[in-house]
């Protein structure tokens, strides 16, 4: 999982699409103007988004792009992954020329982390972003806020505090 301004462009464009595609396809030219992203760069990004079936396209006059899924089922992680080439997670990816030991250990640890980030981003839907709540206040789907059952007040405070952060 890679996170750069490229992914930001993609998510931004998809958000714009989510806001405007209810009344039919949205041409890239509109997104380009509204979000100030060059048309041809958008073309490249949407080419990838289409290949991964996140959007559908309609050609000809009146055409454009639409989301291929409901915003609540379309996740940020998917968008970011779609536009980024796979980053070689381990350098020795799978191969046995890693001489084992130390190196592969940390490689695995990174993969572990990478998976977690990926999982995290795949829990954030476009829908959720569209609601634009203050994250610090609204914990959202990632919360286990009310999962504690019988805890002491002290413990409860600690848990709440921790959860507030996320």
User: Which one of the spans 63-71, 97-105, 121-129, 145-153 is the region binding DNA (CB under 7 A)?
Assistant: 63-71
Residues in CB range of 43: below 8 A, 6 or more apart: 28
- From the CB of 51, what's the least distance to DNA, in Å? 7
Residues in CB range of 71: below 8 A, 6 or more apart: 18, 125, 126, 127, 130
Under the rule (CB under 8 A), what is the footprint of its own copies? 1-5, 8, 11-12, 15-16, 19, 34-36, 76, 87-89, 91, 102-103, 105-110, 112-113, 115-117, 119-121, 123-124, 129-130, 132, 134-136, 139-151, 156, 159, 162-163, 165-166
CB atoms within 10 A of CB 16: 18
123 binds, among DNA, its own copies, none (CB under 5 to 8 A by kind): its own copies
Q: Is 31 in a helix, a strand, or coil? A: helix
- Which sign, positive or negative, has the C-alpha torsion 89, 117, 78, 2? negative
Q: Is 87 in a helix, a strand, or coil? A: coil
Query: Which residues would be at the binding site for DNA (CB under 7 A)?
Result: 2, 4-6, 9, 25-29, 37-41, 43-44, 46-47, 50, 57-65, 84-85
């Amino acid at each position: 999982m890679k996170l750069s301004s490229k992914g930001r462009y993609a998510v931004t464009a998809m958000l714009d699409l989510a806001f405007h595609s209810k009344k039919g396809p949205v041409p890239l030219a509109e997104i380009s103007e509204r979000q100030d992203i060059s048309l041809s760069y958008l073309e490249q990004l949407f080419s990838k988004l289409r290949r991964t079936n996140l959007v559908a396209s309609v050609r000809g006059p009146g055409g454009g792009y639409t989301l291929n899924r409901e915003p609540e089922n379309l996740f940020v992680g998917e968008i970011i992954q779609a536009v980024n080439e796979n980053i070689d997670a381990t350098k020795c990816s799978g191969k046995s020329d890693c001489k084992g030991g130390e190196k592969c250990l940390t490689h695995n640890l990174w993969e572990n982390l990478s998976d977690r980030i990926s999982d995290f981003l795949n829990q954030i839907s476009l829908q959720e972003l569209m609601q634009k709540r203050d994250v610090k206040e609204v914990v959202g789907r990632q919360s286990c806020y009310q999962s504690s059952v019988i805890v002491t007040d002290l413990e409860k405070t600690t848990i709440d505090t921790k959860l507030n952060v996320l």
